[in-house]
Amino acid sequence: MLFYTCLSLIFILLGFNLFFQTPKRRGYKNLPPSPPSLPIIGHLHLLKPPVYRTLHGLSKQYGDVFSLRFGSRRVVIVTSPAVVEECFTKNDVVLANRPPLLGSKYLSYNYTTVTQSPYGDHWRNLRRIGAIEIFSTARFNSFSGIRKDEIKRSLVKLSNNSVHDFGKVELQPMFTDLMLNIIMRMVAGKRYYGEDVRDKEEARKFKTIMNELSAIRGAANPGDFLPFLNWFGKNGYEKRVRRLAKRADAFLQGLII
């Protein structure tokens, strides 16, 4: 029984490898240079922290533009500023789409938000609304008082930390709090970080949701790169994302009401 189980598993793995490696089925042509890959996982074994140093080392060996395969997904790495500029100016329409990750399906309302929607009429309409109603010069200037106040609060906090002697400051969480306070004051007129927080329970819920969003976003789900992992029972990651999406919807609905 063990022999037949192992034999079946080997055939399944070989079948996945052939499926992912067939250029005609994937439609890839003239790919940039790429290091040797392993069956099924591709180049995932090369990604060791810190990832940016790994990619920098590969760029020295394979050039400014090279390709990797993360499981079932093909990835092109660009390290040259000139090529990056060309990607986002001359070829911005070609590179406008986002990969359909499982987290975005539930947290971005089935890929319908401006950050996850595929390029097309819907995305262009969302961009037009954003440019006119949200990111216009008049709207941006109307919230200048909020930005000045939040920056002033951050500077006062920094000065208090070093009033007697030099003090260590971790800038990343401080800038994150500053950004989220500015956004939420623009949207709901409330602060959720630092001092002068009116509703502490609501602020706690918001912080919890944002922390979970940060943990789930990006490449947090191995099933997005190795789809067969989603076959083994109900994915725990999917359950977490569904629960988080419901809580985020309830929080946003409370702000509207």
Question: In the chain, where are the structural domains located?
Answer: 19-95
Per-residue pLDDT at 18 exceeds 60: no
Phi and psi at residue 110, to the nearest 5°: 60, 45
How far is Cα of residue 191 from the mean position of the Cα atoms in its chain? 24
Per-residue pLDDT at 61 exceeds 80: yes
Predicted confidence band at 146 (pLDDT cuts at 50, 70, 90)?
very high
Angle in degrees, CA 163, 169, 172, rounded to 5: 145
Higher pLDDT: 202 or 27? It is 202
- Mapped onto helix, strand or coil, the DSSP state of residue 84 is helix
Higher pLDDT: 124 or 3? It is 124
Q: Closest Cα to residue 46, out of 32, 33, 36?
A: 36
Per-residue pLDDT at 179 exceeds 60: yes
> CA–CA separation, 113 vs 109, rounded Å?
7
> CA–CA separation, 138 vs 132, rounded Å?
9
What's residue 69's pLDDT?
A: 92
- C-beta atoms surrounding 42 within 10 Å: 23
pTM more than 0.85? no
pLDDT tens per residue, range 67-118: 999 988 899 999 999 999 998 888 888 888 888 888 889 999 999 999 889 9
What's residue 59's pLDDT?
A: 94
Higher pLDDT: 36 or 9? It is 36
The CA R_g of the chain, rounded to the nearest whole Å, is 23
Which is it for strands 73-78 and 65-70: parallel, antiparallel or unpaired?
antiparallel
Tokens of 65: 């533009």
Plot region of 30 (φ>0 → left; ψ -120 to 50 → alpha; else → beta) = left
pLDDT tens per residue, range 188-227: 999 999 888 888 999 999 999 999 988 887 666 888 888 8
What's residue 76's pLDDT?
A: 92
> CA–CA separation, 203 vs 163, rounded Å?
29
Least confident of 25-29, 50-54, 209-213: 25-29
> CA–CA separation, 177 vs 135, rounded Å?
21
